[in-house]
Amino acid sequence: MKIAEKMGEIHSLDIPMSKEPNWLWNCMNRWLKSVAIILKQNNWKNNEKQAQCVREFDFNAESQWLKSMIDKGNYKVFFCHNDLQEGNILFRETDVTSNPTPRSSLNETRPDSSSLNLSDTINANIEDSAKFLHNSSISSSDSLLNCTSEDDLDLIIIDFEYCAYNYRGFDLANHFLEWTFDYSNPAFPFYFHHIHQYPNEEQRNNFIITYLKKLNESDLAYIPTANEVKDVQDEVRLFTLFSHLFWILWSVVNVTSNIEFGYWEYAETRLGEYKKLKEELVRCLKSECP
- Predicted TM-score of the model (pTM): 0.81
Banded pLDDT at 102 (limits 50, 70, 90): very low
pLDDT at 44: 84
CB atoms within 10 A of CB 77: 15
pLDDT digits (tens, 9 = 90+) for 257-289: 999 999 999 999 999 999 999 999 998 888 866
Domain ranges for the chain: 2-287
pLDDT at 110: 53
pLDDT surpasses 70 at 150: no
pLDDT digits (tens, 9 = 90+) for 11-25: 999 999 999 999 999
pLDDT at 119: 37
pLDDT at 49: 87
Which phi and psi (to 5°) does residue 56 adopt?
A: -80, -5
Distance of alpha carbon 269 from alpha carbon 279, whole angstroms: 16
pLDDT at 91: 86
Could you give the C-alpha distances from 154 to 64, 88, 138, in angstroms and in order? 42, 14, 19
- Is 196 buried (19+), middle (13-18) or exposed (0-12) by CB count in 10 A? exposed
Distance of alpha carbon 111 from alpha carbon 114, whole angstroms: 8
Banded pLDDT at 95 (limits 50, 70, 90): low
- 54 in Cβ contact with 271 (< 8 Å): yes
pLDDT at 290: 60
Banded pLDDT at 143 (limits 50, 70, 90): very low
The architecture that CATH gives domain 2-287 is Alpha-Beta Complex (3.90)
Which helix (H) or strand (E) is 203 found in, with range?
A: helix 201-215
pLDDT at 289: 67
pLDDT at 124: 47
Banded pLDDT at 136 (limits 50, 70, 90): very low
Contacts of 23 (CB under 8 A, 6+ apart): 82, 121, 122, 125, 164, 165, 166
Amino acid at 22: N
Spatial strand order of the sheet with 101-103 comes to 101-103, 89-93, 155-157
**In percent, how much of the chain has pLDDT > 90?**
66
